Structure 1
Amino acid sequence: MSENQGENSGTEPLQEAPAEQARETETQSFTDLGVDDRVLAAISDVGYETPSPIQAATIPPLLAGKDVVGLAQTGTGKTAAFAIPILMGVDVTARKPQALVLAPTRELAIQVAEAFGKYASHIPGLHVLPIYGGQAYGVQLSGLRRGAHVVVGTPGRVIDHLEKNTLDISELKYLVLDEADEMLKMGFQEDVERILADTPKSKQVALFSATMPPAIRKISKQYLNQPVEISVKSKTTTASNISQRWVQVSHQRKLDALTRILEVESFEGMIIFVRTKQATEELAEKLRSRGFSAAAINGDIVQAQRERTIGQLKSGALDILVATDVAARGLDVDRISHVVNYDIPHDTESYVHRIGRTGRAGRTGEALLFVAPRERHLLKAIERATRQPLTEMQLPSVEDVNAQRVAKFGDSITESLGSANLSLFRKLVEDYEREHDIPLADIAAALAVQSRDGENFLMPPEAPAPAYEKRSRDDGPKRERPPRKFDDKFDDRKFDDRKFEGGPSTHRKTGAELATYRISVGKRHHVVPGAIVGAIANEGGLRRSDFGHISIRPDHSLVELPAQLSSETLEALRSTRISGVLIQLQKDHGPPMGARPRAGREDRAGGKFPKRKDRDRKDDRY
């Protein structure tokens, strides 16, 4: 990648790279695109064989030193499209950051940083550092002092480091705006434009967005130099004979949710996908301890053991395989009836490849996807890219699991009635009955206790959920309202400001659970409730149900949030910015929101009511 000079004077014609042209890119290789041996080795390790349409269309102009505007959905392979050219141009002997990638959320920043690390695995001495709100500054400061060549961060935290003079971008060569439309929806436009203005004019810029609203077009014209525009269209790539379902479950409850599904669902063979090698071993061990036939395969397992494990899966000696994407590459077992995405993939290509392991040889298949509350945007990206909605499923209840356990217990008795040793044990039981005068039913129950763990045979009832979590979407008629779970990628267009400027909403916490907080942005900063919720929820890890009233005043705003916020959340929110302004979150100790001091009788009668100017100033405190 070479550096660009000069001001923007136009946009090169749009380069279409639709998905229907994917067959053409299959004849290309990364070598044909000019990728060097170091990066080639790394992407081969990851499992990439041919470039995706966005990669084939984007890498050449970036390597030629041109600015790029890429219109592409999440999951089209765009991270590799900009990471590969950047890594080829980074000078590992330099100490200052040479590439800066801006991402709207901490999750995406971490994901992009991890991808850079994978693609740079054969480039000794190259350092990648993610910086985002919610993480301690010490980790980030030490990383910057060591010398990070590539910095991936959220706009608010990048601005913080720039103001503290801990991030030096004076020698920046490359700047990437990833999911730029989402950054603008979340109120980061001023931050993004400030960062763009502070970077060297000679830098090369790549902007990626799913849509091209006027604000993105304005940034492109003002800050990019004759950018090449590339558009990638998606197509449905999942097989019609695979039933796709998803369930919302928090990270800490995944194992319990998986256990319930395994006990109730009827399956032959199953692959469970996780992200890391360590997770394959840990999950397989936990499943074995719960009585399931499970084994792990990952990149550290030798080929002989891998082949032996897959052979057991094919023969039926093994029912469950826990694997990473790379380890499952090339796996073809007709017996696999279910694929479970225990960890949701960050790109749709991985999702399509994963669920393609079932539904082989004309059979039907089942694909299950676990989605944590803060991962809903990834579910939406999968549905958009594949153009196929996934069906939400409810986890099996305690009653469902217990009914299945009882049924299996009865089946085991029926199976044992055909045993060749039945006559021997019948005589022993009859002798015991005559000798001790014990009913046969009691003897049978005692024998069952010997073979089963009586204490854990039936699952105990679930603890009651908190009051504000009890209702679900299927609990009966209720008025229309926004989804209870907050989505990381907050869409301000779908947000009704009136829900927060006024009376309480029935699905939020009660007043006793909330406290009023003051933030240092108000009407003169042109903020709206949507931007406040988007920024605070993203940086502080909160959900929509954690918000109460929001009142926007001339120079500040009052927001009702949980009264007991963790120290980590408070620290993250103190450094959060909205419209480029540090919000300086702190508890407000004035009267309840919406209340006004009542004037005394003497004030009304004696004309001592405060002047309008004083009243306005007083109201600003509340």
Structure 2
Amino acid sequence: MSENRGSGADVGERGDAGEESAGAAIADTPEISFQDLGVDDRVLAAIRDVGYESPSPIQAATIPPLLAGSDVVGLAQTGTGKTAAFAIPILMRLDTAAREPRALVLAPTRELAIQVAEAFGRYSAHIPDLHVLPIYGGQNYGVQLHGLRRGAHVVVGTPGRVIDHLEKGSLDLSKLEYLVLDEADEMLKMGFQEDVERILADTPDDKQVALFSATMPPAIRKISKQYLHNPVEITVKSKTTTATNISQRWVQVSHQRKLDALTRILEVEPFEAMIIFVRTKQATEELAEKLRSRGFSAAAINGDIVQAQRERTIGQLKSGALDILVATDVAARGLDVDRISHVLNYDIPHDTESYVHRIGRTGRAGRTGEALLFVAPRERHLLKAIERATRQPLAEIQLPTVEDVNAQRVQKFADSITESLGSDNLSLFRRLIEDYEREHDIPLADIAAALAVQSRDGENFLMQPEPPERERPARERPSRDRPARKFDDDDSRHRKTGAELATYRISVGKRHNVVPGAIVGAIANEGGLRRSDFGHISIRPDFSLVELPAKLSRETLEALRSTRIGGQLIQLRLDDGPPGRRGHSDRHGDKRGKPDKFAKRKPRG
């Protein structure tokens, strides 16, 4: 295997317009083993327990230079196995006798921080006395402080919470040996650039740094040049922004028929576990309840779900106690469960990036996956935008017919009979039925049918055909849902009425060089909100006004009070300014009456 230090020939093709492509190590590596890479027996046993047989391209190219002590810049999409690429070398070289943190991994979201910490735990299963601690916003400080006092060798955290602990003096990075920036481009998009650079500047100069990113924009290149020492640059070849091992299909269905369409697909499509994506928190609860009432094992996950409940739900999904998860985009970030064979977009996302992130929950690390997309007749332009952005056509399919559903129900009924024939209680019930047959002179077939009626809802066992006019899409009533005017998730900010939103004040403004994207990213990440929860944003010289849901949960408020943007505490609180103040009642302008270019017009009607 060869390595290119600094710059080198491009191996991977990238369609990121205007972004630099890094020099590359090998993308298509020959078949090698983890032993060939020099992985020691302790870690080797753990990765075998996990089920890894051979290294992925990013692992094969990254592990050797990291073991040799070089800094690394790795360009790879999510789901390529990059967590193991940096975790394995770190675990092999850690001194477990130390009490201060020796490795720090920065991640953009709490979900990814939890996922990376869990991966470190799996890979270190055969390394005694090694402690891994995730620290992130939204979790109680007491748990994190206890873990830091006990001694954590590996700390995985979000930038804002890491800086909180540095300022409190509870996190000591003076002995740090390894620093990893995971999904660095996402951290910068969410407004964490100043936080990241501050953390980098406060760590020892002789540390080893690994930076992983899906793209290489100028800001990432700047960090690489300033804080990394002659890094080895590695690019995994990628011609599309979505994995080729994910089959992508779409079906046209009007809004009022989505539940019926989903029910048909769940009954006919074989799947192991599925994530269903919807746009709003309320929709997750409503859809999960409707699915449970139809006999499916489903649960909701959204930004209002407390962390403990979220972890229980994901645990049930992993164990097989739960088959369907109904989620919002933010709630599913960083979710990595092997059983997820299908992702279904119940509501089409309003930006292509969200679509890529959603379907990336399946087909992880080389596994195959299925992605399904519901498209209303008036949303076809959004489908075309997805195909252009991903450079992959989505195959149109037809909904399963009534006959398809009924055939599947009959087959499952027959399978259940076959399975019950092996029961230990069969002889008991055979004797009871034979007694009933002699006593009442009823044919055995009629008795069996009566028992089936007891166990199944006879009237609703078979799906009834619909009137012909409802089967034809041309006769369906047009959806009352107003479609997006353009493929931009900013439009989703207008879906709430003024009565549902309140104006909050945060202590960052123009003099802090804050932009709307940083405000949305930081608040959505730390508070578990999504972009559709935001209304107007008005940035003033020393503060900003942000419209958020009027009824934020206590956990969300606590998390947001300690949230930072650009290293500055936002100190979120309800705005109590006078009703006539410019920017409070008239949110479209600043104090001078000039229009705020970031303010959005109120929806008509």
2:228 maps to 1:215: no
Equivalent pair of 1:260/1:401 in contact (CA under 8 Å)? no
**Deviation of residue 25 (structure 1)?**
2.9
> Which residue pairs with 2:55 in the alignment?
51
Residue 165 of structure 1: aligned partner: 169
Aligned residue in 2 for 1:92: 96
**411 and 107 in structure 1: CA distance in 2 versus 1, 3 angstrom threshold:** closer
Match of 1:13, SS state, is coil
Change in CA separation of 1:458 and 1:124 when aligned onto 2, cut-off 3 Å? same
The question of 1:12 aligning with 2:6 is answered: yes
Of residues 364, 367, 374, the one that matches 1:353 is 367
| Counterpart for residue 591 of structure 1 | 578
Give the counterpart letter for 1:180 in structure 2. A
- Tell me the residue number matched to 1:529: 516
Cα 1:31/1:404, change in 2 over 3 Å: closer
Shift of 1:354: 3.6
Q: Secondary structure at the match of 1:229?
A: strand
2:485 to 480, 489, 497: 480
1:156 aligned partner, one-letter code = G
Structure 1: gaps spanning 5 or more residues: 1-9, 248-255, 288-323, 329-337, 356-366, 372-381, 414-424, 431-444, 460-472, 485-494, 500-504, 599-613, 617-622
Structure 1 contact 101–153 (Cα < 8 Å) conserved = yes
Offset at residue 542 of structure 1 (A): 0.9
The match for 1:265 is 268
Superposed displacement of residue 11, structure 1: 6.3
Amino acid at match of 2:188: L
CA, structure 1 residues 106+514, in 2 after alignment: closer, same or farther (shift >3 Å)? same
- Please give the secondary structure, in 2, of the residue aligned with 1:283: coil
> Structure 1 163/368 Cα, relative in aligned 2: closer, same or farther at 3 Å?
same
Q: Deviation at 1:279?
A: 3.8
C-alpha separation between the residues in 2 aligned to 1:593 and 1:478? 34
Aligned match of 2:555? 568
Equivalent position to 2:108, from 101, 104, 109:
104
The question of whether the paired residues in 2 share the 8 Å contact of 1:405 and 1:458 is answered with yes
CA distance in 2, matches of 1:577, 1:153: 14
What is the match of residue 605 of structure 1? Answer: none
Note the 1:283-322 alignment, pairs <5 A. 283=321
Contact 2:493 2:533 in 1 (8 A): no
CA contact (8 A) 1:175 1:204 kept: yes
Inter-CA distance 479–228: structure 2 relative to 1 (3 Å threshold) = closer
Distance 1:276 1:198, change over 3 A: same
Q: CA RMSD in A?
A: 5.0
Instruction: Name the counterpart of 1:77.
Output: 81
Residues in 2 aligned to 1:537 and 1:104: alpha-carbon distance in whole angstroms: 11
Deviations 1:465-514 (A, max 9, x none): xxxxxxxx965664514556xxxxxxxxxx6xxx8xxxxx8733212111
- Tell me which of 224, 228, 232 is aligned to 1:228: 232
Q: 1:55 to 1:348 in 2, by over 3 A?
A: farther
Q: Note if contact 2:80-2:366 (Cα within 8 Å) is conserved in structure 1.
A: no
Label 1:410 to 1:50 Cα distance change in 2 as closer, same or farther (>3 A).
closer
Q: 2:540 aligns with which of 538, 543, 553?
A: 553
- Looking at structure 2, the residues matched to 81 and 238 of structure 1 have their Cα atoms a distance apart, in angstroms, of 19
Contact (CA 8 Å) 1:74, 1:348: kept in 2 or not? no
How big is the shift at 1:162? 0.5
Distance 2:479 2:110 in 1: 32
Is the partner of 2:547 in helix, strand or coil?
strand
Are residues 1:582 and 2:569 paired?
yes
Cα deviation, 1:547-584, whole Å, max 9, x if unaligned, reads 11211111011111111100110011111111111101
User: Contact 1:15–1:230 (CA<8 Å) still a contact in 2?
Assistant: no
Q: Distance in 2 between matches of 1:205 and 1:555?
A: 35
Give the deviation of 1:54 after TM superposition: 1.5
Whichever residue aligns with residue 364 of structure 2, its letter is S
> Residues 132, 80 of structure 1: CA spacing in aligned structure 2 closer, same or farther, 3 A cutoff?
same
CA distance in 2, matches of 1:210, 1:142: 34
Give 3-state SS (helix, strand or coil) of 1:230's partner.
strand
**Structure 2: how far apart are the matches of 1:546 and 1:116?**
34
Assess, with a 3 A threshold, how the Cα gap between structure 1 residues 351 and 207 changes in structure 2: closer, same or farther.
closer
Question: Could you tell me how far apart the structure 2 residues matched to 1:164 and 1:370 are?
Answer: 47
Distance 2:29 2:175 in 1: 35
Q: Can you give the 5+ residue segments of structure 2 that lack an aligned partner in the other structure? A: 14-23, 252-258, 276-312, 325-336, 345-356, 375-385, 415-436, 443-448, 464-477, 586-590, 594-605
Aligned to 1:515, what secondary structure does the other structure show?
strand
1:552 is matched by which residue type in structure 2?
Answer: I
Give the drift of 1:281: 5.2
Q: Please state if 1:143 is matched with 2:147.
A: yes
Question: CA offsets, 1:410-437, max 9 Å, x none?
Answer: 9999xxxxxxxxxxx9xx999xxxxxxx
1:39 is the counterpart of 2:43: yes
Kindly indicate whether the alpha-carbon contact (under 8 Å) linking 1:77 and 1:347 is maintained by their aligned counterparts in 2.
Answer: no
Q: Deviation per CA, 1:273-316, whole angstroms, max 9, x where unpaired?
A: 799885465537x89xxxxxxxxxxxxxxxxxxxxxxxxxxxxx
Question: 2:243–2:363: 8 Å Cα contact kept in structure 1?
Answer: no
* 8 A contact 1:25–1:50 mirrored in 2: no
Which amino acid letter does the alignment assign opposite residue 206 of structure 2?
Answer: S
Is 1:156 the counterpart of 2:160? The answer is yes
1:179 counterpart residue number: 183
Q: Deviations over 1:518-563 (max 9, x none)?
A: 1000010111111111111111111222111211111011111111
Worse-matched range after superposition: 547-556 or 190-199 = 547-556
Change (3 A) 1:389 1:121: farther
Higher mean C-alpha displacement, 174-183 vs 507-516: 507-516
Instruction: State the SS of the aligned residue for 1:14.
Output: coil
Contact 2:100 2:151 in 1 (8 A): yes
CA distance in 2, matches of 1:588, 1:81: 46
| Distance change (3 Å), C-alpha of 1:51 and 1:406 | closer
1:61-72 aligned at under 5 Å gives the runs 61-72=65-76
CA shift, 1:53, in A, is 1.7
| Conservation of the 8 A alpha-carbon contact between 1:14 and 1:228 | no
Instruction: Report the equivalent of 2:118.
Output: 114
Matches within 5 A, 1:394-409: none
After superposition, where does 1:350-429 map in structure 2 within 5 Å? 350=364, 352-355=366-369, 367-368=370-371, 388=392
Distance 1:238 1:591, change over 3 A: closer
**By how many angstroms is 1:208 displaced?**
1.2
Distance in 2 between residues matched to 1:597 and 1:257, nearest whole Å: 44
Aligned residues: 458
Shift in Å, 1:271: 3.8
Determine the C-alpha separation between the residues in 2 that align with 1:394 and 1:560. Answer: 41
Q: Which segment drifts farther, 508-517 or 564-573?
A: 508-517
Secondary structure of the structure 1 residue equivalent to 2:367: helix
Q: Counterpart amino acid of 2:571?
A: Q
Would you say 1:508 and 2:495 are equivalent positions? Answer: yes
Deviation (angstroms), 1:26: 3.9
TM-score normalised per structure 2? 0.64
Deviation string, structure 1 residues 237-282 (Cα, Å, up to 9, x no partner): 9779x853489xxxxxxxx999925664265xx5447998854655
Q: Distance in 2 between matches of 1:548 and 1:390?
A: 33
Matched, 1:539 2:533: no
Rounded to whole Å, the distance in 1 between the matches of 2:157 and 2:403 is: 47
Q: Judging changes above 3 Å, is the alpha-carbon distance between structure 1 residues 85 and 588 closer, same or farther for their aligned structure 2 residues?
A: same
Shift of 1:13: 3.3
SS at match of 2:42: helix
| 1:107–1:506 CA distance, 2 compared to 1 (3 A) | closer
Asked if the contact 1:339–1:354 (Cα under 8 Å) also holds between the matched residues in 2, the reply is yes
